[in-house]
Chains A and B, each alone.
Chain A
């Protein structure tokens, strides 16, 4: 869809902000949800002819260009036979040995721990960010093939984020560094040996040390206590060594605010599941802010329609459009630099202490000035006041220290400390370096006071503010060493590039909270000539000692035996304790939280007020993301191709602006704008995003890598160049930013309009009444739990197809019948299910050009529907995958019987029968089938996916599909088969609740249930029979086997359909 052709000037409305769920009216006593106008994009909302054309055509123009027979040359009989023979000969030759598959031979000496065909699991820790989540790695015949959360981990409890899910591909990345490299001139590096590198680096360290020059070790967040000890040992050997640590996405403002407010270092652990009212201030605690996995689980617990617990109520105040905002009951659009003023307004409304020092310092904004809906604001104040001890305010990481201090006071006033865990606190092994310390380092480098710089798996050239001019300062350092898995911007200008082990090849221990350690163990021996980064540092500490593979393992174990083990108070011998800790991935210790009882410092509040004043010009928000992280996942194709949860854009970052802002600046999506923040400029493509606050520009960091693997290099624009070392507000939030339109355009690709569920021309008047999305009000549900069923029953009378007798005999599924349920109250749209599915089912990366042609291959998509106005839309999310219909319309159109129905109700594909007619996809009402237009592994990026190392990634239980084959969700048939095999061995029946699909296992919100719908008492049966359960497109009588639980909004009033509906 070409969004650039859309005229958006008429989209601008003057509706007040903060109106999500607040189209208040007493006129209607019953919500008319089916009259709500759902739309997925501007093209759909305004009936763009191109969108309508695409919707009515199953395949895009790109996909189905017709063949003009009349233009074909004539063919004689002789020529026909000649061509036929030649084709046969070529086919025989070409197919005989197209690719060397290698030999399949049995083990000569089978490793003890490997049983062919049976997976092993290893508990470990993810080091993809500073959260250090527990992971469980599945291996087959020694190859790690899947990473999931460790169910025994007390924080993430079996769930991990998209990056963690996709991290397994990093192990096999063919562009990983495989040998040490050296270059005296810091360009054109050549291969060297470890021995040579060690010898020379140790000499450089010794020389720097003896001459009194600093040895700077620059790392990301350190969470390992043993690594901390190793740094201490390193410093003992080289006294001039100094450690610097930084994190692009840090919570420094929150930590320093906590310190000033309570004189405590440790941040509390929040128990959001006990909160009744949650106010998120520019906080994406369900998406990209820290600890999102745990918060998502807790939030979903408080939105459980299966129990009878009260629903929590989520308010979100934000300038951006985040996953948290999309899940909110009430969402208030507000430019980010005015949020502190709103906190002061709330303080003024709820504070009861009468502390004149505090109340006298309040600098509230006028809500009317920012067009905030008064009714929503009043309700928020009432909710906060009436739920003291059960309400909490969460400020986002981007907000400055002063806002966090104000929020701490607000939480104190709301008695939110009752929602702080008394059992655990957040801890850090080594605090991050302050900007002053980094500044001092750069000054020392420029003054030739630094002899050696070691990039300890970090990339400061890409991450540090350009104000530091770090790359230039590096030139003045005699020896630069980079320890890294992949080439990066910092390594590229180093003398030594030392390749390090992947996280799945490494040992470690991590501590982020009191009470336990998270253990990291290697699940595979190093694939290449690499070494663990800690082992390299250890080797440099003792250069005379010969290296062996278990050097850091021994160091770690010794540290545990001497330091941690005695403090554990266990009666078990150390060896047993050690193995148990590795087995579980967790070692619990008896620890107390930091002494409580300190009270809030009013002085901290008084001295910090007024530091963030709302401006009148543009606000720039530099955001996190669920794809490339801080850039370290840029070479991960699965993540690059994962649609952004909000915009659905793939393979790019962009400047998101509101509809009004776009109109003001004369912009459309795909235009280019130049953003000037202080003395820094950068040009970005524009995406017009509904729901953004006006004059707010949102850009994701981590893109625009100039040196990395072939997948991520040059993808997107580096927004990090706009970061200032002395920001007026915070590192990721700037106001008074200048914006101007640039010439030219850049095409962004969004999957939002791909595979739309079409409007059946036979049912024209039903196009807004098809009930794809059904929602209701929590209050309505409490009064009448059957309201949705009654609504569906009423609809049946109007829907002729439902009342007709089905032409086929209804099959009886008396044994196992597989089905799935998805709770739309819990789904946050994070995308973990999509990545988990891709990893489990060997789904290839297709590339941006193919996504543009509607050829993405992911088996699940998360449809995002807006309703209401483009200014302030309400959002619904719906994971959409094969519905395994009892009367699957795909089955009866397949001419070669490649898609059939199993006796257990599965719609199954036989790949080697499929001839690629695509009739099934054409006839699928849900548009969930995916066709291999190419052998995408071959087609994408010079066949990189056919590299030897990446073939080790494949799940051997799932066929690797090739060109010309249709595919779709199988309900993880391989996992069903595994349970069936176990049931046979154990001489019992198949138990549905023993099977967990990959998406279900990954979902951090526990929104997916799968199993045998005939299994009495099973969760999936309960969900399937729930009063809020409904099927999508039920009226066409294909009898889908996925039940959706309708979303409830916890808002006090009912919808006003007249206000809510947008005229087309």
Chain B
């Protein structure tokens, strides 16, 4: 039996390229689709531009516990 006889409907060469093209376009569109519009909270929150900066007048320490020399150094 010819292998082509197994297929009842043969796809046309032109249609094949249409489908390939459509698939490529769909993939491109989907990849650029802004899914975030479905996320109300995210879109609401992302409107605010948050900038992080440390307060220049605060005094940091590099470890959890003060070094002995530093501890209470302001108390005379």
Contact = CB atoms under 8 A, between A and B. Distances in A.
A580 B52 contact: no
A726 B58 CA distance: 46
B58 A522 contact: yes
Contacts, number: 162
B71 to A, nearest CB: 6
Interface string A439-459: 000000000000000000000
Contacts of B46: 100, 947-948
Contacts of B39: 942-943, 946
A1017 interface: no
A582 B31 contact: no
B76 A569 contact: yes
B55 A572 contact: no
A985 B73 CA distance: 29
A588 B75 contact: yes
A100 B31 CA distance: 12
A941 B42 CA distance: 11
Interface in A83-114: 85, 89-90, 92-94, 96-100, 111, 113-114
B55 A581 contact: no
A584 B71 contact: yes
B56 to A, nearest CB: 8
B54 interface: yes
A762 B75 CA distance: 66
B61 interface: yes
Given A96-B31, A139-B54, A584-B70, A120 B75 contact: no
B69 to A, nearest CB: 11
* Size category of the binding interface on chain A: 35 or more
Given A92-B31, A98-B35, A142 B53 contact: yes
Contact of B75 (A113, A121, A587, A941): A587
Contacts of B42: 943, 946-948
A550 interface: yes
Contact of B74 (A92, A151, A527, A587): A587
SS of B interface (majority):
loop
Given A99-B36, A580-B70, A947-B45, A568 B75 contact: yes
Interface string B32-61: 110110011110111010111111011111
| Binding site secondary structure of chain A | mixed
A123 interface: yes
Nearest to A950: B45
A524 B52 contact: yes
Interface in A519-534: 521-525, 527-528
Most chain-A CB neighbours within 10 Å: which of B44, B46, B54? B54
B61 to A, nearest CB: 5
A210 B4 CA distance: 100
Interface string A944-987: 10111100100000000000000000000000000000000000
A952 B72 CA distance: 33
A524 B61 CA distance: 14
Nearest to A95: B31
Interface string B18-41: 000001001100111101100111
Contacts of A578: 74
Nearest to A505: B55
Contacts of B57: 521-522, 550, 553
A735 B26 CA distance: 71
B50 A952 contact: yes
A16 interface: no
Contacts of B26: 89, 93
Given A118-B62, A572-B73, A943-B39, 17 more contacts: A89-B23, A93-B33, A94-B30, A120-B54, A121-B64, A148-B64, A505-B55, A524-B54, A568-B74, A570-B74, A570-B76, A572-B76, A580-B70, A583-B73, A584-B70, A589-B75, A948-B42
Interface of B: 23, 26-27, 30-33, 35-36, 39-42, 44-46, 48, 50-55, 57-66, 70-76
Interface of A: 85, 89-90, 92-94, 96-100, 111, 113-114, 118, 120-123, 136, 139, 141-143, 148, 151-152, 158, 174, 178, 505, 521-525, 527-528, 550, 553, 568-572, 576-584, 586-589, 941-944, 946-949, 952
> Which 4 pairs between the two chains have the least Cβ-Cβ distance?
A580-B74, A93-B30, A570-B76, A947-B45
